Amino acid sequence: MGEVIKFKRPSPAEKHKGKTLCKSGFHRWEVQKEQPFDVKLGRLLTLYRCARCGATRTEAK
């Protein structure tokens, strides 16, 4: 018979780490390296991704 491994349930602090700021609108935006081109606007777009929650936003230059 194999060894029994106990799994630890994450605490609420570990489970929700970094999400409270994003829920309040304080994201930590980082620029993505890809530079997509918007055909309709005819210009480059800048992609931003939140380092905490993974939300994305775009901004036209």
Q: Report how far Cα 52 is from the mean position of its chain's Cα atoms.
A: 5
pLDDT for residue 10:
87
Angle at 57 between CA 55 and CA 59, to 5 degrees: 165
Going 46 to 55 to 27 to 24, the CA torsion angle's sign is: positive
- pLDDT per residue over 4-59, tens digit each? 888 889 898 888 776 778 888 899 999 988 777 777 778 888 889 999 888 999 88
Q: At 20, phi and psi to the nearest 5?
A: -70, -35
CB 30 within 8 A of CB 46: no
pLDDT at 49: 93
